[in-house]
Structures are given as structure tokens and as C-alpha cells.
Amino acid sequence: MEGSIKPADDMISTAKRQSTYWKQTSINDRITYLKKLQNVLINQLDHYVAWISKRTNKHQLDVLTGDFLIVFSALDYYIKNGTEILNPVKKKSPFPFWGCTSYVRYEPYGVVLIFSPWNYPFQLSILPIISAFITGNTIILKCSDQLPGFAPFLRSIFDQLNLPDGILQIIDGNAMVGQTLIEAKPNLVFFTGSHTTGDKVYQKAASLGIPCILELSGKDPMVVFDDCHLDRAANAAVWGSLVNGGQACVSVERIYVQSGIYGSFVEKVKDILKKIDSKSFSGMTTKESMEHVKKQVMDAINRGASHFRPDFHDEPFPIFLPPTLLTNVSHEMEIMRDETFGPVIAVMPFETEDDAIRLVNDSPYGLNAYLFTRNKSRIRRMIPLIESGSIFINDVVTNISNIHLPFGGVKCSGIGHYHGREGLLNFCSPKSVMQNNKNSGRNVNWYPYNKKAYSYIRNWIKWRYKAK
């Protein structure tokens, strides 16, 4: 792996040169490197968790589960299933192509440029790397400049795999570095980050004809009906809103509770918050994020929201924001419209199922949605009506870790998917192949044209496609 930082054009050129070699390696050869990565991570797991925890102000349990557990799950899944997923797939050859063999090959794009964010820096770097790597692409990873030192940290891990030069290159830098890398024309761009930045990446890539997979912002709703398991819903709301300091695209960011249990739900949430020690929470990774959250909370309070904060006597991280419960909120407030990305629990009541669907869909985002109810008929009705890439019933957040399922958003939350079989194939360019195995000198529809050929094809069409 390249350990030195090169100019963008040089990085892309190196990756393209190596792409011809790398795509000809067998899937099993690539899987061998993934097994090495698995062993490196297992052998030094505590060290890596501690390193990330210290630099992101996150609780080590949040790092272990959010950054590493899903990576091990993905490595295990693709090591076991990658060959089968990427094997050519035989397709039918209809009668007009009698004598032909048809199949689809899944080939690498070439050079994949990956942009990773700072909130789950390890997970959101490694997962797209795994997908691009096993499919035979060469990779350039551009890490967020909000987390200094992460790029060399990640290079030190991959250096232990002894990859051929140019297969994986890792760099950090500001927006100009990212723009320059796109202008150097990789074959695919994978971006994880805010909708605002993602839109700029998409426009730049589109102007150059480069396809994109975008995993963008969320404003994920949680709907709590009066027939739910109330204790479970309240505990889920607290954890789903506050895990990782609320800095997750799949965090619970707006909670709608049916009016009959609204008061009881709010009181249970308060009781849970009072019992949790501050040392259980993660801090904020950047001061800019903390100020953004404070601004949204103050906007809500100034517009009439009520707030509750547990009485903490210490702050476990240098950048720390105590959790805030907001009630009497509305969609007129920024806290219920724009991504918060911080430790806030915002709760408002609703009356009917139709009201819940309207509130959930009253957002430009559609990443994850959470539904708490025991009514199976209601679940079946609501699933197709909720505008969201994923839905988790009676649970929160961790459905992103089910590596068997594709993950991605709708509306302003993204384009495309990764994870699972479907996600892996998004890092491939499907190539359709047909082979004619007949030994005749010509096909019936070739020159010279004649009435016999016309009659034969016409009669076949009328017989085959006549409405039954």
C-alpha cells in the first residue's frame, strides 16, 4: 500500500495502472487479504478501540460496537459469500436466440474514490473499502480533515497486509483535495457525509460522467403507538437518540408518540436519563458540531419548547454536551427539520395513524425509520407508506449492522446502497455476455431479406405474444 501522500493526478494514475493487474486477480486471492485484515484487527482490537475513543471523544463501548463489530460482521459475510455473489450468473436465452448461451459477469469499475466522514471513521472507511476491494477495484480513500491523524493510523493497519503498491491509497485533506481527486476522473465515487457536501460531490462527479453512491444525512423518525411495549420504547428512544453522542446518520432525531401515552412516555424518558451516569455517554467529536446542536436547541426553546437535562456533576470528555430532552416541539422548529447530529431527544404527540405517516414523511430526508407497535396489520399498512430506505420495527439504529441487508436512503438521504449482496454488486459494472453456439452460415433475419423470412418471424410473433 502507498504510505506517502501523492498529488491527486498521480494517485489516480497509479490506481489506474494497477487496476489492470488487480482486476485479473482471483476473488480468492482478494479474500486472503481480507482474512489478514481480520486477524490484524482481532489481535490489536483493544489498542485500536482506545486510539479512536481518545481522538473522537467517544465511549469505548460506542467505538467497539459502532466502529468494529459491524466491520467484523462484514468481513465474515464477504469472506464466506463473496465468491458466490460475484460469480457469473447464467440467464435465459429466449426462442429468437435459440442456440445461444447468456450470462452476466460482474466486473470492477476500475478506480473507486471513497470519501469517509469523522463520526464513525473506522466503520465508514472500512466497509466501502471491503466492497470495492473484493470486487477487484483499486481504491483511493480520502479521510475527513476533521479527524487529524486518522489517515496515517489507517495506513499503519493496511501496511501490515503487504498489499501490492497502488491497490489502496489513503489521504486526508480539505474540500479542495476532494475536488481535485474527482477532477482526476476515478471510475466511481462513494461518498458518506452531509447532504450539503454530498450534493456538491454529486454535481461535480455528474459533470464529468462519474457514477456515484451517496450515503447522506438523516432525520430519522421514531413512531410510538399506544399499543407498544412502553418501557422498551422509552429505553430505545434514549439510547437511539444519544448513542455515539447522537452523531450517527441513523440516530433517532424526531419522536412521535400517540397522544394517549405521550405524558407517560415523557416521564419514563426523564426517569431513564436521571439514572444514567454521565460516564456512559460519548462526547462530541468537534466543537463545530457542538455549537450546531446548541443553536438548534436554543432555537427550539426560544420558539416555545420545554427542556429537561439530567444533573451531571462532571464531563467525561473534553468536548461534551449533556443530553437534552425537548417537548412541546413542532415542525416549525429547526430541531424537527434539519439534521441535529447531537445528544437531543425531541418528542411531539400525534393522534392517528394517518397523522403519524404525514409527520414522518414531512421531511426532505428518508434514511431510517423506527416503528413501535404490536399491531401486525398496522405494520403491514405503514411499511409501504413510510418514505425511508430502511425500517426497523420495535428497535432502533442497529439494523444498519445487519450486513445481509442493503443500506441506503431515499430523497435527500442518498443514492444507491451498500452492504449485503445488493450493495456489493453496486461496486461492479455488470457485463452482459451472449455466445451463439450454432454452426449455420446465417441467421434467418440476416441479408438477403425475403418474404419467407418476414412470414416466418411474423407468424411466430403473433403466436408467441397473442394475449391469453
Catalytic residue among 228, 249, 412, 428: 249
HSE value, Cβ hemisphere, 13 Å, CA-based, for 168: 28
Host domain of residue 154? 8-216+416-429
Residue 368 lies in a domain: yes
Phi/psi-derived region of residue 139, left when phi > 0, alpha when psi is between -120 and 50, beta in every other case: beta
pLDDT digits (tens, 9 = 90+) for 413-454: 999 999 999 999 999 999 999 999 998 999 999 999 999 999
Whether residue 177 sits in one domain with residue 32 = yes
- Distance of alpha carbon 359 from the chain centroid: 24
Whether residue 62 sits in one domain with residue 102 = yes
Helices (H), 331-413: 353-361, 376-382
Whether residue 230 sits in one domain with residue 146 = no
Whether residue 238 sits in one domain with residue 136 = no
Contact 215, 363 (CB under 8 A): no
pLDDT digits (tens, 9 = 90+) for 375-414: 999 999 999 999 999 999 999 999 999 999 999 999 999 9
Number of domains in the chain: 2
- Is residue 249 flagged as an active site residue? yes
Contact 325, 345 (CB under 8 A): yes
- Is residue 339 flagged as an active site residue? no
Residue 340 lies in a domain: yes
Whether residue 277 sits in one domain with residue 141 = no
Whether residue 239 sits in one domain with residue 163 = no
Catalytic residue among 2, 215, 253, 339: 215
Contact 114, 130 (CB under 8 A): no
Residue 6 — pLDDT band, cuts 50, 70, 90? low
Provide the pairing of β-strand 138-143 with 168-172.
parallel
Question: What is the rounded distance in angstroms from the CA atom of residue 208 to the CA atom of residue 53?
Answer: 38
Whether residue 376 sits in one domain with residue 294 = yes
pLDDT digits (tens, 9 = 90+) for 298-343: 999 999 999 999 998 888 999 999 999 999 999 999 999 999 999 9
Domain CATH code at residue 175 = 3.40.605.10
Whether residue 179 sits in one domain with residue 43 = yes
Peptide bond connecting 448 to the previous residue in cis, omega within 30 degrees of 0: yes
Whether residue 188 sits in one domain with residue 224 = no
Whether residue 356 sits in one domain with residue 328 = yes
Residue 463 lies in a domain: no
Whether residue 340 sits in one domain with residue 239 = yes
Residue 288 — pLDDT band, cuts 50, 70, 90? very high
pTM of the model: 0.96
pLDDT digits (tens, 9 = 90+) for 356-380: 999 999 999 999 999 999 999 999 9
